[in-house]
Amino acid sequence: MDILIVEDESEISQLIQLYLEKEGFNCRTCRDGLTAIQLFQDHQPDLIILDLMIPGMDGLEVCTRIRQKPGSKDPYIMMLTAKGEEIDRIIGLSTGADDYMVKPFSPRELVARVRALLRRTLRQGGQTRTFQTPHFSADVDQRVASRQIEGGEVEPLELTTLEFDLLTTFMSYPGRVWNRTQLIEKLWGNDFFGDERVVDTHVARLRKKIEPDPANPAFLKTVIGVGYKFEDVAS
């Protein structure tokens, strides 16, 4: 597995690299946002550890650009920053980050989180399922999804890795109500670290891609006080 470390403090960057390489990961490092974008395009890492405050282009902008044009790989992104306020976590996750760590941090915890993120990919191995509902189709093996829009036209859905996993989880049990804990267990496993509200952020991002009117969802609905459910019936 290839990891890109984007961190302008050399001691922190070297520490992260040391711990990850001990675990068998291949690491590249850089210190600014523009170089991070170039290395991402050239090498397509599986995961990016991205400091929020970096020169040239901050981590939020780097994350946004990668999510807009993921290339052949749509990497997992872990935000790393000295800022710990709630608003910074929410902003970071809303741009497409999959996890968030605040400095100072435990290198061993960072390694555990990296493994938890990458394990999502490993859990999909060997599956050849296709989920189908009246308006949506998702091929787990090819990791592609589409929706049927007005007039019967089929439109491909451009989803991040996590959005695809979230959609297929909902599609696998239409009508089932999922709470945040269940969704975290399904997508992250027992190694999840962080705020359960990360689920709300990713549900909101998925709605923007699958709902005709995300503010009034027709498919991915909120069950107040419980969680979320996916419903799709033929019109």
Q: What is the pLDDT of residues 14-33, one digit of tens each?
A: 999 999 999 999 999 999 99
Q: What Rg, from alpha-carbon coordinates, does the chain have?
A: 18
CATH level 2 (architecture), domain 2-123: 3-Layer(aba) Sandwich (3.40)
Residue extents of the structural domains in the chain: 2-123, 130-230
Residues 165, 124: Cα–Cα separation, whole Å: 9
The parts of the chain modelled with pLDDT lower than 50 are 122-128
DSSP string, 134-150: SSEEEETTTTEEEEE-T
What does CATH list as the number for 130-230?
Answer: 1.10.10.10
Whether 97 contacts 6, CB under 8 Å: no
Residue 235 burial by Cβ neighbours in a 10 Å radius (0-12, 13-18, 19+): exposed
Give the C-alpha separation, 62 to 211, whole Å. 26
Alpha helix (H) ranges present in the chain?
10-22, 33-43, 59-68, 86-94, 107-123, 161-172, 180-187, 198-210
Angle at 47 between CA 53 and CA 193, to 5 degrees: 75
Cα angle: 13, vertex 22, 71; to 5 degrees: 60
Helices (H) and strands (E) counted in the chain, each on its own, are 8, 12
Q: Considering all CA atoms of the chain, what is the largest pairwise distance in Å, rounded to the nearest integer?
A: 59
DSSP state of 50: E
pTM: 0.58
Give the pLDDT confidence score for residue 214 in this predicted structure: 93
pLDDT of residue 128: 45
